[in-house]
Chain A
Amino acid sequence: MKEKFIRLVSRAVPLPIENIDTDQIIPARFLKATTREGFGDNLFCDWRYDSDRQPIKNFVLNETKYSGKILIAGKNFGCGSSREHAAWAIYDYGFRVVVSSFFADIFKNNALNNGLLPIVVSDHFLKQLIEIISQNPETEIAIDLEKQTFTTGSLEEKFEINAYKKTCLINGYDDIDYLLSIRKEIKEFDLTHA
């Protein structure tokens, strides 16, 4: 069982860079752990800290005016390596939602498998959103997974999510639960597939 996701009201952190790959989200040298926890400290490490591990002032995670559980990022977020550590790092840092106009496939799966909601919005909406947050970092955003709505002030956008994945998130289910329930069928398949 995972933490359930139903509604969320929070501020957001804007990171309007395109093609953010998983090597930026969590560099390979931090992948040596054998557990899922603790990756948040090194989220966006090379953008966040200098070589003496001092925070780089103008990186969004270090700007005190920004906070919240929603990360808003540029197009093609999460491309590159399949490392699930990227989703773990974002979640461990405290984010529960990532908004972008486009996600890489494996990242999207990994996020959904870890209770992190990837929301796809139009390029136009993304641009508006980033402007709003940058002008007023205190803006609150409401996300309702049941209704599939994303609301801030007078702006509202419906988002798409696969019905199965939605049920999993709302109930905290895992894919593995479903697969384990069909073990018998899989066994038969395995035997006939040399």
Chain B
Amino acid sequence: MSKPKTLFDKIWDAHIVKRAEGYPDALFIDRHFIHEVTSPQAFEGLRKRGIPVFNTQRVTATADHNVPTKDQHLPIKEALSRHQVETLRKNCKEFGVDLYDLGHPFQGIVHIIGPELGFTLPGMTIVCGDSHTSTHGAFGNIAFGIGTSEVEQVLATQCVLQYKPKTMKIEINGVLGKGVVSKDIILYIISKISASGATGFFVEYAGDTIRNLSMEARMTICNMSIEMGARGGLIAPDETTFSYIKGKKFAPQGAAFEKKVAEWKTLHTDNGAEYDRVLMFDAADITPMITYGTNPGMGMKITDRIPAVAELKEMSEQTSFKKSLEYMGLEAGSQLLNKNIDYVFIGSCTNARIEDLRLVASMVKGKKKAAHIEVWVIPGSKQVELQAKQEGLDKIFEQAGFELRSPGCSACLGMNEDKVPPGKYCISTSNRNFEGRQGPKSRTFLASPLSAAAAALTGKVTDVRTLLN
């Protein structure tokens, strides 16, 4: 018998083109996603070297980060943004890469369209010049973010040079309480292990709580793996995974699909395989969560108090903590509950799939938002947008006074037109609360779509459980 292997090791080992003494592994990449922001310099590199894209069939492009979410049919107003999107168009054309451009029915946030088009499959290696590539790991593959030099490597050779990371298992068992969803699970884990707690590791999520989640919910968890420093996170594929993939546009069809499923069923960690680290959590301990600081590790139960400065051991930690609270305009030791907010952002590759929009709609149906706030709902893709309209969710949002816009990264990163103004508070379903992330001097509270919906109705930080019967 060969040595028992983790799922991560199985996939990694199956993709090594060359392992040479003194070199990192040359890892073959099955699927490469690109977008307008981190690819122009990589294409420029190919042009300088005079080489083509290694295998255009393995590359998928979309425009998402730098696009407006209003009037997408018009030329982009801002000259630099327009130039960047046009450069992507030009590069894809010149090098023969498929592009799901603005206006295309498949356009959307790169990590949303990959799975919904059936490009993201179990057992693969997937990269993208974007740290939230970890999202795809929900299908039981190795997916991680890379820098632009590496984007160039992959375009040129379909490989990246990488050292194998360590492995960590995070197991969660038990039943989730009322009003608790997958975003709360991941915010809870990060608050426990900090924004750097998994640096150097690749995480496998396991346990019956994870098994009982939908694909959408699993993607939310894998998406935020990077926020605890992990390169990526994955979940072994199962029936939930297979039925999600079945019939997706670019996924194997018919007999080919059945054959693949048989292969995918072998994708699990063997009994007795060892991880470098194992963490266990109990679902019953998790409640609706919220962040109060300027990194995703600064999170707490929505009913908790922000820690007091004295609770932090290290002097250097105290300095960073104080700086962070000052930026957020918050007091150490205070509660966030009932704090007035100005914006609600429902969007991003963390929580802008159809299930997230349904969750929000179920909460706000027949109700109206608080008068003083603005609510933006940004679907993750054109397909999500269409689906939402077919289900009549657009009507629910309209009645509630929410603004439903077109797909893109939007206010997740303060790069395009959608920004939270200086000093304003925003409850956001995205993944980062860094200083200025949603616009210069913007202040972000990360939370689940349910908590965001609750806040939209009351205009305040609200424990969603008090609104559920």
Contacts and interface: CB of A to CB of B under 8 A. Distances in A.
B340 interface: no
Interface in B136-175: 145-150, 152-153, 156-161, 163, 165
Interface string A156-194: 000000111000000000111011101101100110010
Contact of A27 (B146, B317, B436): B436
Report whether over half of chain B's contact residues are helix, strand or loop; otherwise say mixed: loop
Interface string B265-307: 0000000000000000000000000000011010000000000
Given A74-B316, A82-B130, A185-B17, A105 B414 contact: no
Contacts of A21: 295, 432, 434
Contact of B148 (A51, A84, A127, A186): A84
Contacts of A182: 17-18, 26, 157, 159
A19 B320 contact: yes
A18 B316 CA distance: 7
Contacts of B159: 179, 182, 186
B150 A109 contact: yes
Interface stretch (B81-89, B94-102, B447-455): B81-89
A83 interface: yes
A133 to B, nearest CB: 15
Nearest to B157: A179
B436 A176 contact: no
A80 to B, nearest CB: 6
Contact of A164 (B17, B23, B150, B435): B23
A186 B295 CA distance: 40
Contacts of B360: none
Contacts of A31: 37, 65-66, 415
Nearest to B298: A19
B28 interface: yes
A24 B44 contact: no
A28 B413 contact: yes
8 contacts: A16-B319, A27-B440, A28-B415, A76-B195, A81-B432, A105-B165, A164-B24, A179-B26
Q: 3 tightest A-B contacts by CB?
A: A34-B40, A84-B147, A32-B80
Given A34-B83, A35-B44, A190-B158, 14 more contacts: A23-B432, A23-B436, A29-B414, A79-B229, A82-B145, A83-B37, A83-B147, A84-B129, A84-B149, A104-B229, A109-B147, A127-B316, A176-B156, A186-B28
Interface of B: 17-18, 22-24, 26, 28, 30, 37-38, 40-41, 44-45, 49, 51, 54-55, 65-66, 80-81, 83-84, 87, 129-131, 145-150, 152-153, 156-161, 163, 165, 195-196, 199-200, 229, 231, 294-295, 297, 316-317, 319-320, 323, 413-415, 422, 432, 434-437, 440-441
